[in-house]
C-alpha cells in the first residue's frame, strides 16, 4: 500500500519469518538430503504406501463422492453464477467431505492424506471453486490447526461441528500483510478483568470467510515483558459473535464460485479458551499446518492436468488442419507429449508426498513446498498449452461453445481457475525463498556466524574453526559420490536417470557451497541464483518421484510398461532444465535485468509506455525508488565469473 504507514523493515520481516520457522529437523527429509548432496533413495523407495484397511474405507467414500460430484456439481454453471449452492456443500458434508482426515471419534472419516488429496482432486475435476471450499476448510481452516494444536476440550467442542458441515476459514492476510506477516495490525488484548480477548482489525481475502461459521484469525497480542515484539497468535473466532462482519465480497479472475471477503472485527469478545496452541505461536502454527495443507494444491493441479490431457488428446487427434490431425504436427505434438509426461509426474509427486505425510516418519516441509511450487507452475504451463492446442476454441467460454453446438471443453475456465495457485498458500517467489532457506540450513549452522556481519569476533573465530573441520571432509566427499553403473539396476530403463539425479544432487550441494563462498551474506538477496538452486533441487525431487512411481506401477502390472515411457520422457526433459539452470547459475543476465527494473520503477523508460489512449487505469508513476535520479543507465555486462570455492572468509 502506497501510504505513509510505518511498515516493518526488511530485517524485522526476516526476524518474524525466522522466529516462526521450525528450527530443528527431528525426522527424515529426503529433499534436505538432496540439497546436501546425500542421495538417500532408500528413504522413499519402496514408496511409502497406504494401509489396506484405510484404502478399503477410502474406496467406498471416493466412489460415492465421484457419483455425487457427477450428479450434483456443475462447474460451468457455478462459474457463471459465481456461487456454489448451499445444497452442494450440504451434500458434500453429508458424505463426510468436511471431515475427511478428522478422526472418527470426532465425527470425521479418519482417512489418510492420500485419500484426502484424491477426494479433493475428484471434486476439483468437476469444479475448482467447490474444491477450494473444501480445501480452505480442511487444509488451513480450523480442522487442520485444531487437530495438531487444539486442546482436548477444543477438539471435542469444534471438530464434530466442523466435520458435520460448519464451514471454516483461515484469516491471515491484511491490506499490508501479503507475503510479509510482520506488518500485521489486527490485535487482540485482554479485557480489563482478564476474562476474554478483545479482537479488532480487518482481514483481506479470507476464503470461505463470508459463509464460514468458524475462523482461525491471526492477531497481534501484547508484547511479553521485556520484549519489544508483539507476537502473532491464533484465535478461534465464531462469525455469529457480535462485532464480526463481512464488509466486502471479493470476486476474481477465476474460481468465480469462491466465497471470499474482507472481514472486519470490532471489539469482538473471544473467550480465553479459544486461544490456539500458545500466545506467540500463531505463525508457527500456520507454517506447520501448511506443511500438509499445501499438498492439496498439487492434487488440484494434477486433476487439471488429467482433464487437459483428456480434452487435448481427443482434439489433437480429430482436428485436421493442413491435411493432418493437429497432433501430428510437431509443434502441437511437443506440447501434448510434455503434457502427458508432466501430468504423470504431478500425480507421482502427489502420491509420494501424501504417502510421506501419512507415514509420519518424515519432516515433509521441503517436499510439500517443492510440490506446491513445482506443481502449480507446471500446472499453469499445462493449461496454457491446452488452450493453445485448442486454438480459438480454447479461448471461447463453455457457454458460448455449447450455444453454437461445438464441444464445450472448459479450457478457458481451467486457465482462469489455475492462475491463482502460484499466488496463494505461499507465492512461488516466497516458496523459493522458503526452500532456499532450508536448503542452506546445514551450511548456516556450521558457518552462519562466519558470514554474518553482525556476529561478534569471538563467534566468528569459533565458526572459522568449525567450518574448517567440517568442510575439510564435506567438500571433497561431494566430489567423490559414485553415481554410475550398476547403481539402481532394478529401475530398468530409468536407472540412468536416477544415477544422473544422484550426481546432480552432489553437484547441487557443491554449487550451494560455491554460492555461499562467492556471495557471502549477500546470497540472501540473490534471489535469481537461489531460485535456480531451488529449481534444480525441485526437478531432481520430481524425477525421483516419477521413477519410483513408474517402478511401482510396472511392478504391479508388468505387461504395461507405459509408465516407464512417461517417466523416461519426464526425466529427459527435466535433465535439460537442470543442465540449463546449472549453466546459468553464475553466468547470467541477472544484474542487467535487476538494473533495468530499478530504472523502470524510477520512470526512466516511461517513454516506452507512450501511445496508450486510455490512461485512467495506469497507476500514477511512483516516486524515485532509491539510487540515482539521473536517468542514466550503466550498461551491465554478462557476469562471466566462475565461482571461487577458495575460502569461507
Catalytically active residues are 425
**Strand pairing partners for 199?**
188, 268
- Distance, in Å, from the CA atom of 135 to the CA atom of 296, rounded to the nearest integer, reads 7
Assess contact for 241 and 190: CB atoms under 8 A: no
Stretch that binds ligand FAD, among 66-74, 98-106, 164-172, 350-358 (CB under 6 A): 164-172
CA nearest neighbour of 389 among 303, 307, 331 = 331
Q: Does 170 bind ligand FAD (CB under 6 A)?
A: yes
Q: Does 251 bind ligand FAD (CB under 6 A)?
A: no
* Residue of closest CB approach to ligand FAD: 178
- Minimum CB separation of residue 480 from ligand FAD in Å reads 36
Name every residue whose Cβ is closer than 8 Å to that of residue 485 and which is 6 or more positions away in sequence. Answer: 495, 499
- Distance, in Å, from the CA atom of 539 to the CA atom of 347, rounded to the nearest integer, reads 14
- Residue nearer to ligand FAD on the CB measure, 422 or 496: 422
- Minimum CB separation of residue 73 from ligand FAD in Å reads 19
Buried b (16+ CB within 10 A) or exposed e, 74-98: bbbebbeeebbbeebbebbbebbbb
Query: How does strand 320-321 pair with strand 324-325?
Result: antiparallel
| Binding-site member from 185, 187, 246, 427 for ligand FAD (CB under 6 A) | 427
- Minimum CB separation of residue 384 from ligand FAD in Å reads 18
Stretch that binds ligand FAD, among 186-194, 420-428, 595-603, 604-612 (CB under 6 A): 420-428
Q: Which positions from 123 through 142 interact with ligand FAD, judged by CB under 6 A?
A: 136
Assess contact for 452 and 444: CB atoms under 8 A: no
- Distance, in Å, from the CA atom of 244 to the CA atom of 242, rounded to the nearest integer, reads 6
Q: Does 543 bind ligand FAD (CB under 6 A)?
A: no
- Minimum CB separation of residue 286 from ligand FAD in Å reads 9
Dihedral pair phi/psi, residue 267, rounded to 5°: 45, 45
- Residue nearer to ligand FAD on the CB measure, 98 or 205: 205
Q: Does 178 bind ligand FAD (CB under 6 A)?
A: yes
Distinct helix (H) and strand (E) counts, the chain? 23, 10
Q: Does 633 bind ligand FAD (CB under 6 A)?
A: no
Q: Does 424 bind ligand FAD (CB under 6 A)?
A: yes
| Binding-site member from 399, 423, 455, 592 for ligand FAD (CB under 6 A) | 423
Q: Does 173 bind ligand FAD (CB under 6 A)?
A: yes
- Minimum CB separation of residue 206 from ligand FAD in Å reads 5
- Minimum CB separation of residue 309 from ligand FAD in Å reads 26
Q: Which positions from 360 through 379 interact with ligand FAD, judged by CB under 6 A?
A: none
Q: Which positions from 440 through 469 interact with ligand FAD, judged by CB under 6 A?
A: none
- Distance, in Å, from the CA atom of 408 to the CA atom of 402, rounded to the nearest integer, reads 5
Stretch that binds ligand FAD, among 39-47, 301-309, 323-331, 424-432 (CB under 6 A): 424-432
- Minimum CB separation of residue 530 from ligand FAD in Å reads 10
Q: Does 160 bind ligand FAD (CB under 6 A)?
A: no
Stretch that binds ligand FAD, among 99-107, 200-208, 227-235, 336-344 (CB under 6 A): 200-208
CA nearest neighbour of 544 among 511, 578, 510 = 578
- Residue nearer to ligand FAD on the CB measure, 233 or 648: 233
| Binding-site member from 9, 67, 86, 179 for ligand FAD (CB under 6 A) | 179
Q: Does 592 bind ligand FAD (CB under 6 A)?
A: no
- Minimum CB separation of residue 244 from ligand FAD in Å reads 15
Q: Does 82 bind ligand FAD (CB under 6 A)?
A: no
Buried b (16+ CB within 10 A) or exposed e, 529-567: bbbbbbbbbbbbbbbbbbbbbbbbbbeeeeeeeebbebb
Stretch that binds ligand FAD, among 187-195, 348-356, 425-433, 537-545 (CB under 6 A): 425-433
Euclidean distance between the first and the last CA atom of the chain, given in angstroms as a whole number = 40
| Binding-site member from 171, 216, 244, 566 for ligand FAD (CB under 6 A) | 171
- Minimum CB separation of residue 213 from ligand FAD in Å reads 15
Stretch that binds ligand FAD, among 83-91, 168-176, 435-443, 517-525 (CB under 6 A): 168-176
Q: Does 172 bind ligand FAD (CB under 6 A)?
A: yes
> How many Cβ atoms from other residues are within 10 Å of residue 376's Cβ?
27
- Residue nearer to ligand FAD on the CB measure, 205 or 570: 205
Q: Does 163 bind ligand FAD (CB under 6 A)?
A: no
- Distance, in Å, from the CA atom of 260 to the CA atom of 133, rounded to the nearest integer, reads 10
Count the residues of the shown chain that bind ligand FAD, applying the rule CB under 6 A: 21
Q: Does 212 bind ligand FAD (CB under 6 A)?
A: no
**Residue 612 exposed, middle or buried by CB count within 10 Å (0-12, 13-18, 19+):** exposed
- Residue nearer to ligand FAD on the CB measure, 173 or 546: 173
Stretch that binds ligand FAD, among 156-164, 167-175, 381-389, 581-589 (CB under 6 A): 167-175
Q: Report residue 89 as a C-alpha cell.
A: 456443500
- Residue nearer to ligand FAD on the CB measure, 154 or 206: 206
Interhelix angle 527-556/562-583, nearest 10 degrees:
170
Q: Does 207 bind ligand FAD (CB under 6 A)?
A: yes
Helix (H, G, I), strand (E, B) or coil at 204: strand
- Residue nearer to ligand FAD on the CB measure, 35 or 205: 205
- Distance, in Å, from the CA atom of 480 to the CA atom of 486, rounded to the nearest integer, reads 16
Interhelix angle 113-126/52-72, nearest 10 degrees:
10
Buried b (16+ CB within 10 A) or exposed e, 249-275: eeeeebbbbbbbbbbbbeebebeeebb
User: What distances in angstroms separate CA 328 from CA 315, 322, 389, 395, 647, one per listed residue?
Assistant: 11, 10, 12, 22, 55
Q: Does 420 bind ligand FAD (CB under 6 A)?
A: yes
User: What distances in angstroms separate CA 124 from CA 248, 283, 417, 469, one per listed residue?
Assistant: 26, 28, 10, 52
Q: Does 639 bind ligand FAD (CB under 6 A)?
A: no
Interface residues with ligand FAD (CB under 6 A) are 136, 169-173, 178-179, 205-207, 252, 260, 420, 423-424, 427, 429-430, 433, 527
Amino acid at each position: 500500500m502506497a501510504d505513509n504507514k510505518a511498515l516493518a523493515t526488511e530485517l524485522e520481516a526476516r526476524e518474524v519469518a525466522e522466529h516462526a520457522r521450525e528450527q530443528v529437523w527431528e525426522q527424515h527429509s529426503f529433499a534436505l538430503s538432496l540439497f546436501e548432496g546425500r542421495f538417500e533413495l532408500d528413504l522413499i523407495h519402496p514408496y511409502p504406501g497406504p494401509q489396506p484397511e484405510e484404502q478399503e474405507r477410502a474406496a467406498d467414500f471416493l466412489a460415492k463422492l465421484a457419483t455425487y460430484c457427477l450428479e450434483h456439481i456443475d462447474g460451468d454453471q457455478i462459474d457463471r453464477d459465481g456461487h456454489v449452492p448451499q445444497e452442494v456443500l450440504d451434500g458434500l458434508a453429508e458424505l463426510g467431505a468436511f471431515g475427511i482426515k478428522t478422526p472418527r471419534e470426532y465425527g470425521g472419516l479418519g482417512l489418510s492424506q492420500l485419500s484426502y488429496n484424491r477426494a479433493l482432486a475428484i471434486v476439483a475435476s468437476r469444479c475448482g471453486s467447490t474444491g477450494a471450499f473444501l480445501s480452505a476448510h480442511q487444509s488451513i481452516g480450523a480442522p487442520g490447526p485444531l487437530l495438531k494444536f487444539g486442546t482436548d476440550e477444543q477438539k471435542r467442542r469444534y471438530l464434530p461441528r466442523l466435520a458435520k458441515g460448519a464451514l471454516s476459514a483461515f484469516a491471515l492476510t491484511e491490506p499490508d500483510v501479503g507475503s510479509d506477516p510482520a506488518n500485521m495490525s489486527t490485535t487482540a488484548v485482554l479485557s480489563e478483568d482478564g476474562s476474554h480477548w478483545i479482537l479488532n482489525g480487518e482481514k483481506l481475502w479470507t476464503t470461505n470467510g463470508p459463509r464460514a461459521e468458524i475462523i482461525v484469525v491471526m492477531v497481534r497480542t501484547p508484547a511479553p515483558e521485556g520484549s519489544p515484539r508483539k507476537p502473532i497468535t491464533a484465535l478461534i473466532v465464531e462469525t455469529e459473535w457480535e462485532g464480526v462482519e463481512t464488509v466486502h465480497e471479493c470476486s476474481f479472475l477465476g474460481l468465480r464460485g469462491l466465497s471470499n471477503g474482507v472481514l472486519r472485527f470490532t471489539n469482538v469478545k473471544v473467550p480465553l479458551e479459544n486461544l490456539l496452541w500458545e500466545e506467540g505461536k500463531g505463525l508457527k502454527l500456520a507454517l506447520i499446518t501448511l506443511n500438509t495443507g499445501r499438498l492439496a494444491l498439487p492434487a488440484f493441479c494434477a486433476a487439471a492436468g488429467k482433464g487437459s490431457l483428456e480434452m487435448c488428446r481427443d482434439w489433437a487427434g480429430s482436428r485436421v488442419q493442413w491435411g493432418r490431425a493437429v497432433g501430428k504436427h510437431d509443434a502441437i505434438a511437443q506440447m501434448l507429449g510434455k503434457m502427458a509426461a508432466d501430468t504423470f509426474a504431478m500425480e507421482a509427486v502427489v502420491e509420494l508426498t501424501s504417502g510421506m505425510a501419512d507415514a509420519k516418519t518424515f519432516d515433509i516441509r521441503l517436499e510439500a513446498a517443492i510440490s506446491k511450487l513445482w506443481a502449480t507452475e507446471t500446472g499453469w504451463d499445462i493449461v496454457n498449452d491446452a488452450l493453445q492446442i485448442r486454438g480459438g476454441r480454447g479461448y471461447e467460454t463453455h457457454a458460448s461453445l455449447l450455444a453454437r453446438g461445438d464441444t464445450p471443453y472448459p479450457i478457458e475456465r481451467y486457465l482462469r481457475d489455475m492462475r491463482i495457485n502460484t499466488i496463494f498458500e505461499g507465492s512461488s517467489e516466497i516458496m523459493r525463498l522458503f526452500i532456499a532457506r532450508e536448503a542452506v540450513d546445514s551450511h548456516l549452522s556450521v558457518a552462519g556466524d562466519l558470514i554474518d556481519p553482525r556476529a561478534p569476533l569471538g563467534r566468528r573465530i569459533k565458526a572459522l574453526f568449525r567450518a574448517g573441520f567440517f568442510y575439510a571432509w564435506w567438500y571433497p566427499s561431494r566430489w567423490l559420490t559414485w553415481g554410475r553403473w550398476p547403481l539402481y539396476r532394478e529401475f530398468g530403463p530409468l536407472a540412468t536417470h536416477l544415477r544422473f539425479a544422484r550426481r546432480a544432487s552432489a553437484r547441487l550441494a557443491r554449487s550451494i557451497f560455491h554460492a555461499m563462498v562467492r556471495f557471502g551474506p549477500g546470497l540472501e538477496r540473490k534471489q535469481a541464483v537461489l531460485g535456480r538452486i531451488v529449481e534444480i533441487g525441485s526437478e531432481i525431487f520430481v524425477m525421483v518421484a516419477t521413477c519410483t512411481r513408474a517402478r511401482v506401477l510396472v511392478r504391479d502390472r508388468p505387461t504395461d510398461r507405459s509408465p516407464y515411457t512417461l517417466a523416461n520422457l519426464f526425466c529427459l526433459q527435466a535433465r535439460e532444465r537442470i543442465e540449463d539452470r546449472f549453466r546459468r547459475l553464475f553466468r547470467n543476465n541477472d544484474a542487467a535485468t535487476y538494473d533495468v527494473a530499478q530504472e523502470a520503477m524510477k520512470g526512466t523508460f516511461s517513454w516506452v509506455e507512450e501511445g496508450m489512449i486510455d490512461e485512467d487505469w495506469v497507476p500514477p508513476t511512483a516516486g524515485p525508488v532509491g539510487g540515482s535520479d539521473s536517468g542514466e543507465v550503466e550498461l551491465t555486462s554478462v557476469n562471466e565469473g566462475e565461482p571461487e570455492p577458495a575460502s569461507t572468509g
